Structure 1
Amino acid sequence: MDELKTKYTFWKLINQYDIEIPIMQRDFAQGRINEKTNAIREGLLDSLFRSIDDECNIDFDFVYGTVQYEKLFPLDGQQRLTTLFLLHWYIAMKEGKLTDEVSEILDKFTYSTRISSREFCHALVNFDFDLEADTKVSEVIKNSNWYFRSWDKDPTIKAMIVMIEDIHAKFFDAEDMFDKLIRDIDENPPITFSFISLEDYSLTDNLYIKMNARGKSLSNFENFKAKFMQYLKNQGFEYKHFEDSIDNKWTDLLWEYRSKDNTIDDAFIRLFTFITEMIYTEGTEAKDMNSPYRTFNIATFIKTYDSNEKVQRLYEMLDLWNSKDEIYDCMKSIFSTEYEEGKTRLFDNNCNMMDRCLSGENLSFPNKVLLYMVMRRLVYYKKQGNTDDGINDYARVIRNLVSRIRTLSGYVYQSDFRYGRHAIPFVQFIAANLLGADDVYKVLPSLTAPTAVREENLQDEIDKAKINNEDVYNKLRIQHLEDSNIFKGSIHNVIGLLADSNEDYTDIFESIFSADNTTLVTRALLSIADYGIRLGGGALGDRVYFGTKGNWNTILTSKRDDSYAEIFYKLITQYNKITAKNTKDKLKEIIDTNQKSIDRMAWRYYFVKYSRMLGKLNMLYAFKNRKENNIKIHRMDGSTLNGYHIVPFYREIALQLGNEKCDLDRCRGINSEEGTIVLKCGVSVEQSEDGGWVISREDEMKDVVDEGIDEVIQKYDSIEKDDLDYVEQGVMLCAMLYETLNSK
């Protein structure tokens, strides 16, 4: 077949033959509108533009076809030939060179797939109009008197118009291109291909099937390899390493991540996407934007590598490891899923972030930043030829900083780390200040944080660094506590404890906050001060959260002021002084001791004294105000008002009265309705604004109830109540009402 193969340009081919796309061929597809085709079309036009503008030849591979009576029927290459046909027409027309002779030559290209496609091609090559940069070429074509509305349904015509529009956007500003396009084959034409004539065959369905059975459309990976290699060569960048490694070393690295069809295409695309996205991140301007790499667009990815430095960085990243085992060993030496001395704990139960990336798991941006900057450091020390003894501290500081960009969702902290707002400035800050630091803790005190990193978060790391720099044991104590589930790197509220003592407090905090001690812990903390976190407001007042088992992190790591840190300081100090053997007994003793000093008018007094006032689920309460003497507080069943809620004081009174006297189910409110104490004697009781009691009756029992209520009020007012708290007073009043009214 070598004798039949000849180098051609489109202009040479169309001058030599009439070109007819056979009826068995598919419609023109390069103008379809979908994510993948858009990317292919953009990359194709970029390559064509560069080849013509730079006068740098691009090889369009092979075009196969059979020739009958000077007419060529392409069997492979239809898409490329159609694009070249449209490009020649557009440039000739734009440059005023669409002469009768040129139109006549271009008219030799046609489609036999549909009559409409054939007629469109004929009309197009004879169509000439004035162009401006903002001309909507598709509208001009469709508004022409030769264009039939029925052609809108022809997929080939639709695709051709899309391609023309994109050609216009890409080539309008270019000049003097047509003469370059039609150069003779021996005058360095910009676009060539090898044409193989199969004139010994007849044009049959069987031939077409055989020709197309030899392969399928190129995958994203195959397209990428070819186009990236061509790009590197055209730009004069180092390409030999890519050429040597893509099918050898890097294939070996990714082979254990191969797909079911035994290809590494997906794994390589994932790895290349991650590295390219982060290289772009390190070099671009920080602004609020989405990542341009959310989908794989070959043209976008290739354009990232606009310098040899970036190309070399890509190679360095890809060369870091030789096998899946090496990746595992490296990740395991730096990260862990539980606290391990000398490692940085990750809190999502899988410390091998690179394995997750290659396996198709979507890494969060905090994890991407952490993984990339660790890889950058590995490369840095590898090039230096030095051992990196500080990589754990480096990784730990990054983990802490990225994890502190968060927001409350309900009453649980979720990451609020955005690509443009955070990832870009974080990567640049770390690369500029920490990447090559042998000991990051010695560098930290001299740094100033950019806005995105947040000064207070950097200050937390500086505060820890100052303690760490004093003693190796101090660093171990801090890192042990940081890696606890209840802190997850944020220990700013308890750093004072570590500074004042040499004790490792991790076991103490975990024994208090990790066990099933929610009610006791809440009462112990409230016995010291009001520590609740405000989550928002509503019809019933501010929503305040007090913490629950499994989510004490919200409480322990939220506020950032001395008074809040003082609460935890007092709790742990008191806890350590008590000689009781177990945590529950120690907490009970703290409660009993502190309760004596709480004002009995304060709502905290009742939460501390009466354990049943606290819930067992979300510990979420609504306060009309947070004043000490306010007892009209609603305990919420859910995180919003769209559910039941009850005043804890009313609930405690109802429980003490018992089901015989009080209808506990009717004491609850729903949505914005407030609950009351509903007695089984025709009345309900609630607290008044001045701290007294309001008694309401059911209308059908008006006379009997009014008489009984008056009697109870007189008797209640005559009793000395100075030694009784609100709950005890409420129980007494309700009991009197029940007994009096039921005796009538």
Structure 2
Amino acid sequence: MENSTGFKDILTKAVSKVYMPTARKLKISIPIIQRDYAQGRMDNKAADIRNKFLDEILNRLKSDESLFLDFIYGSIEDDKFIPIDGQQRLTTLFLLHLYFAKKEDKECEYLRRFTYETRSSSREFCEKLVDYDIDFSKEKISTYIKDSNWFMPFWENDPTVKSMLVMIDEIHHKFKDAKFYDKLENIKFSFLELKDFGLTDDLYIKMNARGKPLSEFENFKAEFEKELSQDIKTKLDNQWLDLFWNLNSGDKDEIGLSNVDKRYMAFFNRVASNFTILSIKDTKEAKDFNFDEFDTLDTLDFFSSNKNNVNNVNNVIKILDELCEVANDEPLKNFTDTSKDITYETRAKFFALSMFLIKFGARGIGGEFYKKYERITTNIAKDFNIDSILKLRQVFEFINEICEKCKNKDIFELLESFDDKQPESFKTIEFYKWQEKKKLKLIQSDERWIAAINETEKHWYLGSNLTFLIDFAKDDIKEFERYYKKFDEIFKEDRENFLFQRALLTKGDYLPEHGNSGYFTFCNFNNNPRSKDDNWRDVFYDKEKRRFLKNLLDDHRGLQDIIEEFDDNKYWGYYFIKYPEILKECSNFWILAYDYTIRVLRGKFTNSYHVEYYAFSLFIMLQRQFPNLSNEKLGYKWAKSYGENPYASIGDNKISFIKTDDDKYCWMIDEGRIGEVFDPNLPEQDPLQSIIDKAYKIAKGI
């Protein structure tokens, strides 16, 4: 066909019968923007394409007929032809020329002019194939190649190399009895220079109908490499790539490659977004920042030298280089997991590792300084309630402060800069800085604190928040160990008997209030920072409430004995203490209390089913006293809005506790009002005192 040429002609002759303004010899360079060689993949579709293509070539060469492979499109830069469409066919032709040239002892130096830019390992493999001989007596040439001393094992992670090895074996299988080197010139194609088009993603996607669009990482890498020296570029496809291959638990097939590229891209994106957070200057910027909107363009912008961000590139190079020396790959694995949303805690932990690698290098990991550094930064990441970008920035600033202040790898250098005064709120980063300083001072004063603190911080709920126990012990290590042992013994989640909550209530009203709305909680044991802040931490760090906890820890009796021996039936919490059935009804531990009215909630608000505390206490007492009464004869009516009035029912009688229109608190039996319960003019009494005898009499009567 006119204007057609052969593969060898492009590389060895001044080509003129093509659509080019001048004739010249060319190199063929597969660009970074192209995907990997795919005709050698092991999936069924690739195998079918491979077999049909090679069978067609075999039949044409046997019959000494020409084979025209249509147009190959691309651009020409200097002496390089850069294909946009045709990469797969050109690579197969390269392997055919190599196979027959080596087999028939032909000169093949011209094949050096064919190269891959997608990965340095692909390029190096092609060069070595030209340099070294092949043993054609082997059944599988790929095995011989992989066993050769020039073959680098990590090349097997390169999908192009893997595909080439498969294709070489298939060529050998079909052509091992043939000598077709001189006939390869029968395979022709026309190639068209698209000089009016740039090598853009859109053009590639539109024209490469046989392939697939580039991955996000491949597009990123094509631009990012512009910021790198040649030796650093090599690491992208070798040492650094291995980091992400090692995280891939599945077979290293096409799916595996996709996962690797996603992890690789996630790494760059998340490192860039982390360090962007650190550079945010004010609260408004922090509030406006959104990780979900931080995309590849933002990542490229972060690493662009045009933005004077050379240090950002140097930092990520340093992190990757040092990660190659880190034995534990769990931090990187968690940080680059693309199957779920990454948590602030994971971000903070990886930022701490990143800063350590930048400042101190991988050699310091495992040393005494790193152990202390890791303990403190893990405490902050895990226990501080990081629920916003602003708080995450505060954590990053704290981590950065540690790295800046501890230049001599002395963790105690932090003591000079942190405030000695305990902050008012335990929910701030300043509190955690103060808390870590308090522990460091103890460790500095007595090394026995190291083991004590390390052991206590393993507690499933406390974590690093143990300074209330240190305060109880007045900085005495023996007393601290005693308090912790007692706390560990009695602080249990118990959905049947609620012994800890009920025993603590005997010491005083420990319930934290939710704002000023009248909602109070008995505290749940949910093990996340937000829940902890709104529940037990509010008890541990409240000056009044923690006294009740200390009294409980100082009480030598068991929890059950404390509960059984409590006898103040005038105390508002008496029935909660005596009857675990009421707390079981309070399934989310919330109550709504206004003056003497207490609604016990199943949910968090009064639009969930709920009971009235005193009427429900009466119902439980009657159940215990008259166990043989059926549900029809003894029952309870729940409410689902604050306007409804819950009541206990005994036969046809409805007994309720109400607040009247004239602000009096009375018992009602049906429509009849029993005398005022909380009368300030009368002596304080048990709220059930005026109704219990009447209720018993009704129950006995049925």
TM-score (normalizing by structure 2): 0.59
1:354 is displaced (CA, Å) by 1.6
- Structure-to-structure mapping, 1:304-315, within 5 angstroms: 304-305=302-303, 306-315=308-317
- 8 A contact 2:615–2:648 mirrored in 1: yes
Structure 1: distance between partners of 2:240 and 2:83: 35
Counterpart AA for 2:490: I
Residue equivalent to 1:590? 562
Which residue does 2:544 correspond to in 1?
563
Question: What are the Cα deviations for residues 24-51 of structure 1, in whole angstroms up to 9, with x where unaligned?
Answer: xxxxxxxxxxxxxxxxxxxxxxxxxxxx
Q: Is the 8 A contact 2:590 2:600 kept in 1?
A: yes
Equivalence for 1:24: none
Q: Secondary structure at the match of 2:460?
A: coil
Confirm or deny: 8 A CA contact 2:575 2:617 kept in the other structure.
no
SS of 1:273's partner is helix
The equivalent of 2:576 in structure 1 is 607
Task: Spell out the pairing of 1:110-121 with structure 2 (5 A cutoff).
Answer: none
CA contact (8 A) 1:662 1:677 kept: no
Residue 638 and residue 4 in structure 1: after superposition, are their counterparts in 2 closer, same or farther (change >3 A)?
farther
Q: What residue is the counterpart of 1:668 in the other structure?
A: 638
Q: Distance in 1 between matches of 2:467 and 2:359?
A: 31
For each residue in 1:573-597, what CA deviation from the matched residue of structure 2 results, as whole angstroms up to 9, or x when unmatched?
A: 11xx34xxxxxxx11233345x35x
How many angstroms apart in 2 are the aligned matches of 1:692 and 1:223? 73
Which of 725, 733, 740 is equivalent to 2:686?
A: 725
Deviations 1:449-475 (A, max 9, x none): 999963233222222233232222223
Does residue 293 of structure 2 align to residue 318 of structure 1?
A: no
Q: How many equivalent residue pairs?
A: 483
Does the 8 Å CA contact 2:601/2:608 hold for their aligned counterparts?
A: yes
Letter in 2 for 1:693: C
Conserved? CA contact 1:491–1:557, under 8 Å: no
Question: Structure 2 matches for 1:637-656, cutoff 5 A?
Answer: 637-656=602-621
> What amino acid does structure 2 have at the position aligned with 1:557?
R
Contact 2:614 2:657 in 1 (8 A): no
**Over residues 90-115 of structure 1, what are the superposed CA-to-partner deviations in whole Å (9 max), with x where a residue is unaligned?**
xxxxxxxxxxxxxxxxxxxxxxxxxx
Counterpart residue identity of residue 497, structure 1: F
Specify the code of the residue in structure 2 equivalent to 1:266: K
Structure 1 residue 267 corresponds to structure 2 residue 263: yes
Match of 2:219 among 210, 219, 223: 223
Match of 2:648 among 662, 677, 680: 677
| Shift of residue 367, structure 1, vs aligned partner | 1.9
In 2, distance between residues paired with 1:364 and 1:228?
Answer: 26
> How many Å apart are 1:316 and its aligned residue?
0.8
Q: What is the one-letter code of the residue matched to 1:268?
A: Y
Q: Assess, with a 3 A threshold, how the Cα gap between structure 1 residues 733 and 465 changes in structure 2: closer, same or farther.
A: farther
SS of alignment partner, residue 468 of structure 2: coil
1:245 maps to 235
Q: Answer whether contact 1:677 1:686 (CA < 8 A) is retained.
A: no
- Note if 1:381 corresponds to 2:353: no
For the 8 Å contact 1:381–1:388, the answer to whether it is kept is: no
Q: Is the Cα contact below 8 Å between 1:64 and 1:196 reproduced in 2?
A: yes
Q: Indicate yes or no: 2:493 matched with 1:519.
A: no
- CA–CA distance in structure 1, aligned partners of residues 458 and 245 of structure 2: 34
**365 and 444 in structure 1: CA distance in 2 versus 1, 3 angstrom threshold:** farther
Q: Deviations over 1:202-249 (max 9, x none)?
A: xxxxxx99x84675433322222221222x2xxxxx523421211111
Offset at residue 369 of structure 1 (A): 1.8
Report if aligned partners of 2:599, 2:611 keep a CA contact under 8 Å in 1.
yes
Aligned to 1:162: none
Residue 546, structure 1, aligned to residue 522, structure 2: yes
RMSD: 4.3
Following TM superposition, by how much is the alpha carbon of 1:279 offset from its aligned partner in structure 2, in angstroms?
A: 3.0
Equivalent pair of 1:661/1:680 in contact (CA under 8 Å): no
Q: Distance in 2 between matches of 1:561 and 1:398?
A: 25
After TM superposition, give the deviation of residue 722 of structure 1 in Å. Answer: 8.2
1 CA distance for matches of 2:594 and 2:607? 17
**What are the residue-to-residue correspondences of 1:476-491 with 2, within 5 Å?**
476-491=451-466
**Deviation digits for residues 474-493 of structure 1, max 9, x if unmatched?**
23222322221222322243
1:581-624 per-residue CA deviation (whole Å, 9 max, x = no partner) reads xxxxx11233345x35x5x4320233334444332632221111
Which residue identity lines up with residue 562 of structure 2 in the other structure? I
The letter of the residue matching 1:354 is: L
SS of 1:686's partner is strand
Judged with a 3 Å threshold, the aligned counterparts in structure 2 of structure 1 residues 215 and 604 are, in CA distance, closer, same or farther, namely closer
CA–CA distance in structure 2, aligned partners of residues 611 and 65 of structure 1: 80
What is the CA–CA distance in structure 2 between the aligned matches of 1:722 and 1:737, rounded to whole Å? 27
Write out aligned runs for 1:285-300 (5 A). 285-286=281-282, 287-289=285-287, 291=289, 294=292, 297-300=295-298
Cα drift, residue 506 of structure 1 = 4.3
Partners of 1:223 and 1:688 in 2: CA distance: 70
Q: Paired residue for 1:456?
A: 431
- Conserved 8 A contact 2:615-2:655: no
The C-alpha deviation readout for 1:336-383, integer Å capped at 9, x for no partner, is xxxxxxxxxxxxxxxx33212334243212321221222321342228
Per the TM alignment, residue 76 of structure 1 is displaced from its structure 2 partner at its CA by: 4.9
Distance 1:662 1:447, change over 3 A: same
Query: Does residue 273 of structure 2 align to residue 277 of structure 1?
Result: yes
User: Within 1, Cα distance between the matches of 2:608 and 2:366?
Assistant: 59
Tell me the residue number matched to 2:166. none
Equivalent-residue separation in structure 2 for 1:661 and 1:256 (angstroms)? 63
Matched, 1:64 2:79: no
Cα displacement (A) at 1:531: 0.7
Task: For 1:608, give the aligned amino acid.
Answer: I
Indicate the residue corresponding to 1:103 in structure 2. Answer: none
Q: Which amino acid aligns with 1:64?
A: G
Q: Distance in 1 between matches of 2:665 and 2:217?
A: 77
2: CA distance between counterparts of 1:226 and 1:546? Answer: 58
Q: CA deviation at 1:290?
A: 5.1
Q: Contact 1:519–1:611 (CA<8 Å) still a contact in 2?
A: yes
Match of 1:423 in 2: 392
1:60-114 Cα distance to aligned partner (Å, 9 max, x none): xx96399xxxxxxx9959xxxxxxxxxxxxxxxxxxxxxxxxxxxxxxxxxxxxx
Q: Quick one: distance in 1 between partners of 2:512 and 2:632? A: 33
Per-residue CA deviations over 1:258-288 (Å, capped at 9, x if unaligned) read 5641423222112222222223333343432
* SS at 2:570 equivalent: coil
Give me the whole-angstrom Cα distance separating, in 2, the residues matched to 1:229 and 1:649. Answer: 73
**Gap regions ≥5 residues in structure 1:** 14-61, 67-73, 78-194, 200-207, 233-237, 332-351, 407-414, 579-585, 699-705
Deviation at 1:317, TM superposition (A): 0.7
Structure 2: state its 5+ residue gaps: 1-9, 23-71, 77-81, 86-189, 195-203, 624-628
Q: TM-score under structure 1 normalisation?
A: 0.56
